[in-house]
Chains A and B, each alone.
Chain A
Amino acid sequence: MRPIRVLVAKPGLDGHDRGAKVIARALRDAGMEVIYTGLRQTPEQIVAAAIQEDVDVVGMSILSGAHNYLFPRVVELLKEQGVDDVLIVGGGVIPDEDIPGLKKAGVSEIFTPGTTTSNMIEFIKSNLKREL
Chain B
Amino acid sequence: MELIQRMLAGDKRACARLITTVESNPEEAEKILREIHPYTGRANILGITGPPGAGKSTLTDKIVKKFVDEGKKVGIIAVDPTSPYSGGSILGDRIRMQDLALHPNVFIRSMGTRGYLGGLSKHTKNALKILDAAGYDYIIIETVGVGQSEVDIVKTADSILMVMVPGLGDDIQSIKAGIMEIGDIFVINKSDLFGADRTATEVNMMLDLSSNMDRRPPVVKVTASKNEGIDILKSEIINHLVYLNESGKLNERRKNNMRTEIVELIEAELRKIVISSAASENKLESEVGKIITKEKNIYEVRDEFLKAIREE
> A29 with B12: in contact, given A36-B95, A52-B107, A54-B19 (CB under 8 Å)?
no
Contact B13–A81 (Cβ < 8 Å): yes
In the complex, whether B88 has a CB less than 8 A from a CB of chain A is: yes
Contact of B112 among A30, A33, A52, A83 (CB under 8 A): A33
Contact B86–A31 (Cβ < 8 Å): yes
Contact A32–B17 (Cβ < 8 Å): no
Nearest CB on A from B80, distance (A) = 9
Give Cα A82–Cα B17 distance, bound, in whole angstroms: 13
Give Cα A44–Cα B98 distance, bound, in whole angstroms: 11
Give Cα A3–Cα B123 distance, bound, in whole angstroms: 14
In the complex, whether A120 has a CB less than 8 A from a CB of chain B is: no
In the complex, whether A66 has a CB less than 8 A from a CB of chain B is: no
Contact A33–B12 (Cβ < 8 Å): no
Q: Within A29-47, which residues are at the interface with B (CB < 8 Å)? A: 29-38, 41, 44-45
> A51 with B90: in contact, given A38-B95, A45-B98 (CB under 8 Å)?
no
In the complex, whether A104 has a CB less than 8 A from a CB of chain B is: no
In the complex, whether B284 has a CB less than 8 A from a CB of chain A is: no
Nearest CB on A from B231, distance (A) = 26
CB-CB under 8 A from A29, the residues of chain B are 83, 85-86, 88
Contact of B20 among A36, A54, A81 (CB under 8 A): A54
In the complex, whether A48 has a CB less than 8 A from a CB of chain B is: yes
Contact of B109 among A41, A45, A52 (CB under 8 A): A52
> A24 with B90: in contact, given A52-B108, A54-B16, A81-B13 (CB under 8 Å)?
yes
Interface residue range, chain A: 20 to 34
Question: B106: nearest residue on chain A (CB-CB)?
Answer: A52
Contact A31–B95 (Cβ < 8 Å): no
In the complex, whether A28 has a CB less than 8 A from a CB of chain B is: yes
Contact A31–B87 (Cβ < 8 Å): yes
Question: A5: nearest residue on chain B (CB-CB)?
Answer: B20
Secondary structure of the B contact surface, majority rule = mixed
Give Cα A83–Cα B82 distance, bound, in whole angstroms: 27
Contact of A35 among B23, B91, B114 (CB under 8 A): B91
Contact B17–A36 (Cβ < 8 Å): no
Nearest CB on B from A22, distance (A) = 12
In the complex, whether A2 has a CB less than 8 A from a CB of chain B is: yes
Contact A53–B86 (Cβ < 8 Å): no
In the complex, whether A49 has a CB less than 8 A from a CB of chain B is: yes
Contact B83–A36 (Cβ < 8 Å): no
Question: A48: nearest residue on chain B (CB-CB)?
Answer: B101
Question: B17: nearest residue on chain A (CB-CB)?
Answer: A54
> A82 with B112: in contact, given A2-B24, A36-B92, A37-B98 (CB under 8 Å)?
no
In the complex, whether B94 has a CB less than 8 A from a CB of chain A is: yes
Question: B107: nearest residue on chain A (CB-CB)?
Answer: A52
Contact A28–B102 (Cβ < 8 Å): no
Nearest CB on A from B266, distance (A) = 25
CB-CB under 8 A from B88, the residues of chain A are 3, 27-34
Nearest CB on B from A106, distance (A) = 19
A-side interface residues toward B, CB under 8 Å? 2-3, 5, 24-25, 27-38, 41, 44-45, 48-49, 51-54, 81-83
B-side interface residues toward A, CB under 8 Å? 12-13, 16-17, 19-20, 23-25, 82-83, 85-92, 94-95, 98, 101-102, 107-110, 112, 114
